[in-house]
Structure 1
């Protein structure tokens, strides 16, 4: 049995599978996840200036009320960067501001008071003096910052579909769940180790295939 050939074939298979695993895992990481730095104070105290946020790339139709999303709206925010805000309403929701007085003021969503423990200083509307009553069109989102005194969000674009943005503008949802990243990173590491093992097998297989020829030459020297 040609053990050198067997080792060589095994090595090439391991090398191919390992490289494929590395490329696929790193590609999946890039395709499904991303990071961004917070460049303003509109989401304080949840996310402050200079914080890094980790997000999963999702379709805008997958987000729900309360999610913090990154979206692109260059017509509203020149510069081409991603904007971080919180989803308050989705298609079909009615958003009304505000019910109650003082610290008891609340936004209502479909007639129910919205508890917002994440809002800075408990101020749900900031400096916007007027009430607003928005019916979110289907396929769009109503978004606000957590620091209502310092956020240029849906409240300031009432003439454009009630300030809402299309779900297609969403680029990702901020998440603390790292399980997917850990699994993909593990798969990439496994692929790297498999690639190295395959390379070792290939080198070993080539060495073994050379040795019989050298041995035969020494045993049976040519007389011609």
Structure 2
């Protein structure tokens, strides 16, 4: 009777743990696929933080989720290139952006830019003074001396790239978000525990089938 109860208990646990684990695992994977992309850096314009060949995690979002200082994957003007590029957002719609090659100021405040490849910027670049149009983003590369960015498109929309062209924002550190990872690991563990419980229940059931029947002993008699 004890073996039978144990076998049923293992199988019951398996019926609960396995579906719950699979739901968590599949849901976490679907969440990651639906909200994140992995991008390989192809150019030199975002050194040193994003060198060529680096893999970065990009979270998909709309233009309303973009802030100054974000590194975004964005569609450039068609005459620029056809593939989306990584650029740092310097100004958003309505901002007053000025630059002289070595310094950049937004709304009168000079930016501290520790991420630059060269803290001197690009001393050979022409100065600019723009008001970013609504629905546009003024973007620059971190390697200013080797970046085709808003500075070279000032004749159209004050150099602003269309905010609607933002594909997503780079996740700092290029790590997989903690939440989905935790749920995926938990789901995998539960599914494994459920399958293990099912296997244990099957083994217990087989032992029940092969166990020899007990011979009853009556008072005052002896078994031969």
The TM-score with structure 2 as length reference comes to 0.78
Q: Does 1:116 align with 2:113?
A: yes
Residue from 190, 197, 218 that aligns with 2:193: 197
Contact 1:93 1:135 in 2 (8 A): yes
Change (3 A) 1:47 1:213: closer
Contact 1:127 1:148 in 2 (8 A): no
TM-superposed CA distance for 1:76, in Å, is 4.1
Please, which moves more after superposition, 151-160 or 5-14?
A: 5-14
Q: Does 1:47 align with 2:44?
A: no
Aligned residues: 212
Q: Distance in 2 between matches of 1:190 and 1:117?
A: 39
TM-superposed CA distance for 1:134, in Å, is 1.7
Residue of structure 1 in register with 2:91 after alignment: 89
Please tell me whether Structure 1 or Structure 2 has the larger radius of gyration of its CA atoms: 2
Aligned to 1:41, what secondary structure does the other structure show? coil
Residue of structure 1 in register with 2:164 after alignment: 168
Residue from 13, 16, 37 that aligns with 1:13: 16
TM-superposed CA distance for 1:171, in Å, is 2.1
Aligned to 1:78, what secondary structure does the other structure show? coil
Contiguous gaps of at least 5 residues in structure 1 = none
RMSD, matched Cα: 3.0
Please, which moves more after superposition, 60-69 or 139-148?
A: 60-69
Q: Distance in 1 between matches of 2:80 and 2:202?
A: 61
TM-superposed CA distance for 1:189, in Å, is 1.9
Aligned to 1:120, what secondary structure does the other structure show? coil
Q: Distance in 2 between matches of 1:172 and 1:46?
A: 17
Residue of structure 1 in register with 2:71 after alignment: 68
TM-superposed CA distance for 1:71, in Å, is 1.5
Residue of structure 2 in register with 1:134 after alignment: 130
Residue of structure 1 in register with 2:220 after alignment: none
Residue from 103, 123, 128 that aligns with 1:106: 103
Change (3 A) 1:115 1:13: same
Change (3 A) 1:155 1:124: same
